[in-house]
Amino acid sequence: MRDEVTFLREMLEIYSPSGQEGEISAYLVARMREMGFRAYQDGAGNAVGILGEGERDLMLLGHMDTVEGLIPVRLQEGRLYGRGAVDAKGPLAAFILAAARVGPVPGWRIVVVGAVEEESSSRGARYLLGRFFPQAVIIGEPSGWEGIALGYKGRLRVLYRLSAPVRHSAAEGPSAAEEAVGFWNRLVQYASEQNRGERFRFHTLDPTLHKITTRNGGFEEEVAMDITLRLPPGTDIPALKAQLRAWAGEAAVGFCGEDEPFRAEKNTSLVRAFLRAIRAYGGTPTFKLKLGTSDMNTVGPVWRCPVVAYGPGDSRLDHTPQEHIDLEEFQKAIGVVENVIREFTVKN
């Protein structure tokens, strides 16, 4: 157990915010080679480790980048603190350690990937598309060791900008800032109308205003907003974009960070393997639908194979200053993934 915890601790001690994964990628490649993987850094900077020579792939896709914010790494009362402990170096470490326990399986390649830029653009996951064609995928995200995540909401980032001549405060008509506030209020009202009667947040449209800034240059005033929309299944994204442009009037509206909602099939051999593995460790399996996004949104619609998201950790600690992982849960998750790999590769 000590060596496994040390492995995770060393991962946490390498600060790797999205876009700065070079050091941890090199570290993981070296460690995976020590564990018997054929390991390398691919063209995107992903750390890839492969066990076996088979024609079928079981993909364990985690990510090694984190959000910004350095948290001193420390072990306290059975909890390991550090940026990425939950999201998502803990799940990735569990994947690597579980696969190493199993070793090569006849007829299969066990592929473990520490992807880059999951927290920003999913560039690492996108690089894998067309290069791998797995029979099943496990996404490394915190679900709790008894939880199995089957879906993630979509996401659309909206960038609003309006410039207008400076006007006297006594003049008629709205200022640029008031126009921007009107756009935001219209969006919030629209979401409220769409969500009426819906109690389950996986099926609601949720806008968040991250930032609004104004600037007065003497002759021109400018206002900018950065908005994220969390999208429920069934969202017509092109129609939503058209509606936002119409509401914006003279303002410029741009879009980025677009991820379609995705929900995986529940009745698959991969899900059944997880149910049995969690019960074997005395757990009660629960299914989850997550309100954020993950690399499942990127690879699920393309690979069209059985997929779940799984990993130790409490997702409520994602991105927080208190991020930590319970080491007993970490150990159980390693065992669960190990059992899943063994069962899935034997029965499929």
At residue 165 the predicted structure's pLDDT band, cuts being 50, 70 and 90, is: confident
What CATH number should be reported for the domain holding residue 214?
A: 3.30.70.360
CA distance 109 to 59: 8
Of all residues in the chain, the percent with pLDDT exceeding 90 is 93
The C-alpha atoms of residue 133 and residue 130 are separated, in whole angstroms, by 7
Q: Are residues 275 and 252 in the same domain?
A: no
Q: What is the pLDDT of residues 175-227, one digit of tens each?
A: 899 999 999 999 999 999 999 999 999 999 999 999 999 998 767 889 999 99
Asked whether residue 306 carries a pLDDT value surpassing 60, the answer given is yes
pTM assigned to the model: 0.94
Strand pairing of 147-152 and 252-259? Answer: unpaired
Please indicate, yes or no, whether residues 187 and 105 belong to a single structural domain of this protein: no
Cβ neighbors of 118 (< 8 A, separation 6 or more) are 18, 63, 65, 88, 124, 125, 294, 295
> Does the structure show a pLDDT above 80 at 166?
no
Residue 2 — pLDDT band, cuts 50, 70, 90? low
Residue 161: is its pLDDT beyond 60? yes
Average pLDDT of the residues of the chain: 95
In this structure, the answer to whether residues 193 and 91 fall within a common structural domain is no
Q: What pLDDT digit, counting tens, does each position of 9-65 carry?
A: 999 999 999 999 999 999 999 999 999 999 999 999 999 999 999 999 999 999 999
Q: Which residues are catalytic?
A: 65, 118
Same domain, 93 and 36: yes
One domain for residues 54 and 24 = yes
- Tell me how many domains the chain contains: 2
Answer with the one of 236, 259, 282 that is the final residue of a domain. Answer: 259
How many CB atoms neighbour CB 97 within 10 A?
22
CA 59 to chain centre: 16
pLDDT of 172: 62
Final residue belonging to a domain, choices 224, 244, 259: 259
- Phi, psi (deg, nearest 5) at residue 93: -60, -40
Cα–chain center distance at 6: 24
Over residues 135-159, the mean pLDDT reads: 98
Range(s) of the domain holding residue 31: 2-152+261-347
Asked which of 213, 233, 259 is the last residue of a domain, the reply is: 259
